[in-house]
Amino acid sequence: MNAMQRLELRQGQSLTMTPQLVQSIKLLQLSHAELASYVAAELERNPLLQEGEIPADAPGLSLADFLRAKQKAQALGPRIVPGPSPLRSSPSSGASGPTHGEIGSELGETLARAASLTEHLEAQLDLATSDPHLRMIGEHLIHSLDEAGYLREDLAEIAVRLGTAPADVESALQLIQTFEPAGVGARDLAECLAIQLKELGRLDPAMQALLGNLNLVARQDFAALKKVCGVGREDLAAMLAEIRRLEPKPGLAFTPAAIDVLVPDVLVRPAPDGSLAVELNPETMPHILLNRTYYAEVAKVLNKEEDKSFLSECVQAASWLTRSLEQRARTILKVAAEIARHQEEFFRQGVSGLRPLTLKSVADAIGMHESTISRVAANKAIGTERGTYPMKFFFGAATGEGEHAAKAVRHRIGQMIGAEKPEDVLSDEAIAQKLKLEGIQVARRTVAKYRDALRIPSSSERRRLGREA
């Protein structure tokens, strides 16, 4: 044989994000009600899982019970991947996936019940590609978007975490950026607007120059904008008007997953020594165990390979779920403890004590990734002596002029206006001066913006209403 056989070694990257890791990520962001539903389904499917403590003298299931449990699990179909989307399920051998018509029907039902952004994008991802590698990356990116629809993580970091090439992550992101709502998957405002303009066929060089200089738009430096865009006054006015018609936060058009009746996942209470005690709410944290005694008993008497395979699947699924629930609880508690530490004044004196807090600052403080903090904050609530609040309530930026949280300043403005007398109505400038005396540096225009957000009329309108009363 003349042809020489060659052994070639090639170095490459492959996707290392296993289905179990995908499940763990989704498990972290579930609300307590969604988690309870998922755990209940697993308890029904897996005979090795037990809820609560297992007494030492508790009788195990018989072999016949085990075989009936196997038949029931098979009848239930493939294990559903936990997550807010009803369209996702893990693949099973020999089972074909849903057809485009079936997905379309499910998508219609999903949208009819006010789908979340995640559900809406995952349904489009199902239709957009059949490449499992691209779909897994795309699913991870979709779950990394914030509520406004932006991707705040660095693509290189995502590639390292997933064990894949940066080019593959970029390809998946470009695919997501073609989905509805237009602008979703952008990494900043300029890219969000560019995606929308491209879809409208209006992303010409002049508009690209305008998007590259949004700082000049914010400063209303029209002379500089005309120069960099190479357009006249009328054209610039038309371009600015077109940008104002776009949606800067496309994700907010979708209903976020709601916290169920605001049952707290974490409780924060004053401790006897004056500190704050942070603990998990046992009512929202499922407690399940792997019954190892029953596993050992059944393993001895099984003869058929398919029965042994089912038992192995059950023990692996049970071990993964118990570990994942423990990790989820530890992560939630760790994030909540850092929130309580940073927002201690809120827990002692109320909204006026809120301080600016970002996902990144919490992530840096406890050594986790910002995306992890975002998933923890989603669909969770913290119970306090002042009531129960969504965990995201405790995050917010500063006012821009100082170190006070915007929520706290709005609250104080509402207090001032609520206490004013009819003959002494406070103007926005007067409120700004009063806040300054309290050590809060806020401009008059910021006071007006916060007052409008509180749906409080202007001082002149309040005076008129007072006279009519």
Query: For the residues of 124-191, what is the DSSP string, one character each?
Result: HHHHH---HHHHHHHHHHHTTB-TTS-B-S-HHHHHHHHTS-HHHHHHHHHHHTTSSSTTTT-SSHHH
Q: What is the pLDDT of residue 265?
A: 93
77: left (phi > 0), else alpha (psi -120 to 50), else beta? left
Q: What is the pLDDT of residue 191?
A: 95
Question: What tokens were used for 145?
Answer: 């978007």
| pLDDT tens, position by position, 23-38 | 777 788 888 888 888 8
Q: What is the pLDDT of residue 134?
A: 87
The answer to the question of residue 425 being in a domain is: yes
The answer to the question of residue 34 being in a domain is: no
Q: What is the pLDDT of residue 229?
A: 93
CB 348 within 8 A of CB 358: no
Mean pLDDT of successive 10-residue segments in the chain (469 residues)? 49 52 78 87 84 60 65 59 36 34 37 66 86 84 89 87 86 93 93 92 92 88 92 90 90 65 86 91 87 81 82 86 91 94 86 81 91 87 86 72 64 82 85 80 82 82 69
Cross-strand pairs, 51: 288
d(CA 23, CA 256): 20
d(CA 203, CA 211): 10
Q: Domain end: 201, 220, 246, which one? A: 246
Q: Residue 405 gets which letter from DSSP?
A: B
The answer to the question of residue 220 being in a domain is: yes
CA dihedral sign, ordered 283, 284, 285, 286: positive
Compute the half-sphere exposure of residue 374: CA atoms within 13 Å on the CB side of its CA. 16
CB 265 within 8 A of CB 377: no
The answer to the question of residue 434 being in a domain is: yes
Q: Domain end: 246, 262, 284, which one? A: 246
| pLDDT tens, position by position, 298-340 | 888 877 888 888 888 888 888 888 888 999 999 999 999 999 9
d(CA 432, CA 197): 39
The answer to the question of residue 431 being in a domain is: yes
Question: What tokens were used for 126?
Answer: 């199902």
The answer to the question of residue 12 being in a domain is: no
Q: What is the pLDDT of residue 112?
A: 41
Q: What is the pLDDT of residue 405?
A: 64
Domain that holds residue 449: 406-468
Q: What is the pLDDT of residue 413?
A: 86
Packing angle of the helix pair 117-128, 132-142 (nearest 10 deg): 170
Domain of 420, CATH number, reads 1.10.10.60
Nearest to residue 155, comparing CAs of 172, 143, 133, 177?
A: 172
CB 253 within 8 A of CB 116: no
The answer to the question of residue 330 being in a domain is: no
Q: Domain end: 246, 266, 287, which one? A: 246
Q: What is the pLDDT of residue 114?
A: 52
3-state secondary structure of 402: coil
Angle (nearest 5°) at CA 119 between 113 and 124: 115
d(CA 359, CA 364): 9
CB 380 within 8 A of CB 266: yes
CB 106 within 8 A of CB 87: yes
Nearest to residue 413, comparing CAs of 346, 404, 463?
A: 404
Q: Find all residues with CB under 8 Å of 323, minimum gap 6, and list them.
A: none
Q: What is the pLDDT of residue 20?
A: 64
The CA-to-CA distance between both ends of the chain, in Å, stands at: 105
C-alpha 437 chain-centroid distance = 38
**Domain total in the chain:** 2
Packing angle of the helix pair 292-301, 305-342 (nearest 10 deg): 170
Q: What is the pLDDT of residue 436?
A: 79
Nearest to residue 306, comparing CAs of 60, 93, 96?
A: 93
Q: What is the pLDDT of residue 261?
A: 58
Q: Which residue has the tokens 């509520």?
A: 147
Q: What is the pLDDT of residue 211?
A: 94
Q: What is the pLDDT of residue 173?
A: 95
Question: What tokens were used for 258?
Answer: 């709601």
The answer to the question of residue 143 being in a domain is: no
Q: What is the dihedral of CA 150, 156, 162, 164, to 10 degrees?
A: 120
3-state secondary structure of 258: coil
